[in-house]
Chains A and B, each alone.
Chain A
């Protein structure tokens, strides 16, 4: 039996608020799975239910054929018996213990013989490049090193599943990138399953095999990162994954117009094959636009900011402001200019 993590229609309520609503997903063994969403969407609660810090109001959590939490059977395995590795946002390394003792702690708790503790601790330390500082205390080291201690502690027992709760968000951007690679490399070497919680879409995309996008306790989409980016399930997912433009449109005689702009606001785009939503909205990415003569839409440049590689434009399309990011060497439009926009890919969504 593969050690898949199975979240079987789990629900969690806090008072009248449903934090997680009938979430149903199977995380495959060895997969890197991330849960993404704005703060308060229920992603952290889900992770904490999986870890055993929160019990569940409905459903069942299993890993392989072992039941961890089950409402129906009224069974709940405490976190200390679940044998997960876990890394927390604020590092949670113990300042009163040396790095060696921090990493050895889970092994000591399990009552392993001393030489085995030493051996496994050293191995975890060498995986995370901490051997040289094993005798130091955590606060003598930088934030990045603290997070590596937390990683080493989590892998010390060689867990099959690793839970990561926003492990990179307390690090500066440069370190974040480095740690991302380190986590990925560790996974390659040790083969554990990763369940990863983050609010940063680029982090989720860079790290995961599949990602789950969540909002108000409800799953919006579960897919590979590229699919989520290129074929978002709905308007929320589209806007959460990167910069986005939305233009409410109306349709006469199979032609598309910017809402309320009449003939002047024509958009040259074919109608979708799927049935049209009642309040259709056209969406596209700011980076998926070329500014040309002609184009699919006509707009007027309202603001312009030079950012080095790109120029960031705000363009008025009728009464709607859209954002265009264009390569700096191809951008010669000034504020007030009329310009045509050629859109790479349009998405159709239901208006809100």
Chain B
């Protein structure tokens, strides 16, 4: 069983604490994405799993075997049965594609015939069989990363560790590799830890995501949909995409957005009361979760800026003294009343609102 557990790990460099009492369990055969801003310590987690670094405290086990921890000799990387894929490919430039991929088997003193068979089969899997005699300098970035994937897979590791493996590729290739990594995992059933700062990749590739903040704390673990739609706090909400916040209060007529006249529909107000027990709250929503109407009795807004960005139109609107950002599909907008101009008035209909602690939202905003 290749379950991975990190149990109350602490790690620091000099006086700087990177991780404190960090615990995480990655299930057998899942693709787990550790997502966080750069410098949050997510790569340190991966490097400790790989054995390139040792935790100051706490225990790590892979597939039920403790690989480092209190009072135990730390098992070096070469004995952990892991595959690692790095952001900078790390394909050895002096070896051919075949030699690169065969290296782990050579280290295991695999029989030559067996080595050739397994190397070829994994090269086939990543679609690089035709290029096995090339040197890495003759390959594109995407091909090099496929070699790195093959090399990490060839010895049938318990766990694959991927450290931002596609962020050096261009956008098209990134999408393609995202699908390919996902498909490789389905075929091989290997457990994956995928570390990234790119929330789009994380949403697309993961079975479960763990979101870390810049202090190294794990804020939320859940499926992509849970993380995106039901974030536990404003940090996660903000990190997963463009976030709008508007202050809300309960008045005699119901829950109102500050500076706006009509109260919100009651279907939007689930959870408001629970959230407001601890103080003032903010309503949070994404740019796509609002409909703009030419007229109506809803929340009134003024169009401050319009930017056509191609497939979507990006608006800055003023609502009750605050600025929010709304995005519309260009195609839809063109076929339903046209694109708004700066200075137009409109009426907003919300699809969904979430409630966050106002003080936290404001202090996060100040820190930015």
Establish whether residues A229 and B203, one from each chain, have CB atoms under 8 Å apart when the complex forms. Answer: no
Establish whether residues B307 and A206, one from each chain, have CB atoms under 8 Å apart when the complex forms. Answer: yes
Contact size range, B: 20 to 34
User: B97 to chain A: closest CB distance in Å?
Assistant: 26
- With known contacts A305-B204, A309-B286, A327-B288, A202–B309 Cβ distance under 8 A: yes
User: Which of B51-59, B134-142, B247-255, B328-336 is near enough to bind chain A?
Assistant: B328-336
User: A170 to chain B: closest CB distance in Å?
Assistant: 17
User: B209 to chain A: closest CB distance in Å?
Assistant: 11
A-B contact pairs, 6 of them (CB 8 A): A205-B308, A206-B307, A206-B309, A230-B334, A285-B331, A308-B203
Task: Answer yes or no: A271 CB below 8 A from chain B CBs.
Answer: no
* Among A206, A287, A312, contact of B308 (Cβ-Cβ < 8 Å): A206
Establish whether residues A308 and B199, one from each chain, have CB atoms under 8 Å apart when the complex forms. Answer: yes
Task: Answer yes or no: A344 CB below 8 A from chain B CBs.
Answer: yes
**Given the complex of chains A and B, what is the CA–CA distance between A330 and B204 in angstroms?**
17
Tally of contact residues, A, Cβ under 8 A:
30
Closest to A174 in B: B368
Task: Answer yes or no: B224 CB below 8 A from chain A CBs.
Answer: yes
Closest to B240 in A: A308
Establish whether residues A206 and B240, one from each chain, have CB atoms under 8 Å apart when the complex forms. Answer: no
Identify the B interface with A (CB < 8 A). 175, 178-179, 199-200, 203-205, 224-225, 228, 240-241, 286, 288, 305, 307-312, 314, 329-332, 334-335, 339, 351
For the complex of A and B, 3 pairs with smallest distance between CB atoms: A288-B331, A206-B307, A305-B204
A217-269 at interface with B (beta carbon < 8 Å)? 225-226, 229-230, 241-243
Closest to A241 in B: B310
**Given the complex of chains A and B, what is the CA–CA distance between A241 and B310 in angstroms?**
7
**Given the complex of chains A and B, what is the CA–CA distance between A286 and B312 in angstroms?**
12
**Given the complex of chains A and B, what is the CA–CA distance between A241 and B288 in angstroms?**
21
Task: Answer yes or no: A53 CB below 8 A from chain B CBs.
Answer: no
**Given the complex of chains A and B, what is the CA–CA distance between A11 and B200 in angstroms?**
43
Contacts of A305 in B (CB 8 A): 175, 178-179, 203-205
**Given the complex of chains A and B, what is the CA–CA distance between A325 and B327 in angstroms?**
15
- With known contacts A205-B308, A205-B310, A305-B179, A312–B331 Cβ distance under 8 A: no
Establish whether residues A308 and B241, one from each chain, have CB atoms under 8 Å apart when the complex forms. Answer: yes
Task: Answer yes or no: A72 CB below 8 A from chain B CBs.
Answer: no
Contacts of A180 in B (CB 8 A): 307
**Given the complex of chains A and B, what is the CA–CA distance between A308 and B224 in angstroms?**
8
Counting chain B CB atoms within 10 Å of each CB, the highest count among A202, A285, A308, A329 belongs to A308
User: A105 to chain B: closest CB distance in Å?
Assistant: 33
Task: Answer yes or no: A279 CB below 8 A from chain B CBs.
Answer: no
Establish whether residues A201 and B288, one from each chain, have CB atoms under 8 Å apart when the complex forms. Answer: no
**Per-residue CB proximity of A287-329 to B under 8 Å, as 1/0?**
1100000000000000101111100101000000000010101
* Among B179, B228, B331, contact of A308 (Cβ-Cβ < 8 Å): B228
Known: A205-B309, A305-B203. 17 other contacts (CB 8 A): A181-B305, A225-B308, A229-B330, A241-B310, A242-B310, A285-B331, A286-B311, A287-B311, A288-B331, A305-B205, A306-B225, A307-B200, A308-B199, A308-B200, A325-B311, A327-B288, A329-B351
Establish whether residues B310 and A201, one from each chain, have CB atoms under 8 Å apart when the complex forms. Answer: yes
Task: Answer yes or no: A345 CB below 8 A from chain B CBs.
Answer: yes
**Given the complex of chains A and B, what is the CA–CA distance between A92 and B330 in angstroms?**
36
By DSSP majority rule, is chain B's interface helix, strand, loop, or mixed? helix
Closest to A344 in B: B331
User: A305 to chain B: closest CB distance in Å?
Assistant: 4
User: A219 to chain B: closest CB distance in Å?
Assistant: 20
Contacts of B311 in A (CB 8 A): 242-243, 285-287, 325
Contacts of A226 in B (CB 8 A): 308, 339
Contacts of B179 in A (CB 8 A): 303, 305, 314
Contacts of A225 in B (CB 8 A): 308
Establish whether residues B288 and A309, one from each chain, have CB atoms under 8 Å apart when the complex forms. Answer: yes
**Given the complex of chains A and B, what is the CA–CA distance between A307 and B228 in angstroms?**
9
Counting chain B CB atoms within 10 Å of each CB, the highest count among A180, A226, A306 belongs to A306
Closest to A288 in B: B331
Contacts of A230 in B (CB 8 A): 334
Counting chain B CB atoms within 10 Å of each CB, the highest count among A202, A305, A314 belongs to A305
Counting chain A CB atoms within 10 Å of each CB, the highest count among B241, B288, B308, B332 belongs to B308
Establish whether residues A345 and B331, one from each chain, have CB atoms under 8 Å apart when the complex forms. Answer: yes
Establish whether residues B310 and A307, one from each chain, have CB atoms under 8 Å apart when the complex forms. Answer: no
**Given the complex of chains A and B, what is the CA–CA distance between A180 and B305 in angstroms?**
12
Closest to A310 in B: B288
**Given the complex of chains A and B, what is the CA–CA distance between A230 and B335 in angstroms?**
11
Closest to A314 in B: B179
Contacts of B228 in A (CB 8 A): 308
**Given the complex of chains A and B, what is the CA–CA distance between A205 and B330 in angstroms?**
12
User: B287 to chain A: closest CB distance in Å?
Assistant: 8
**Given the complex of chains A and B, what is the CA–CA distance between A225 and B334 in angstroms?**
13
**Given the complex of chains A and B, what is the CA–CA distance between A202 and B330 in angstroms?**
12
Contacts of B205 in A (CB 8 A): 305
Establish whether residues A306 and B224, one from each chain, have CB atoms under 8 Å apart when the complex forms. Answer: yes
Contacts of B224 in A (CB 8 A): 306, 308
- With known contacts A285-B331, A288-B331, A327-B288, A307–B203 Cβ distance under 8 A: yes
Closest to A224 in B: B308
Contacts of A303 in B (CB 8 A): 179
User: A166 to chain B: closest CB distance in Å?
Assistant: 17
**Given the complex of chains A and B, what is the CA–CA distance between A243 and B307 in angstroms?**
18
**Given the complex of chains A and B, what is the CA–CA distance between A303 and B179 in angstroms?**
8
Closest to B330 in A: A229
User: A19 to chain B: closest CB distance in Å?
Assistant: 24
Establish whether residues A229 and B310, one from each chain, have CB atoms under 8 Å apart when the complex forms. Answer: yes
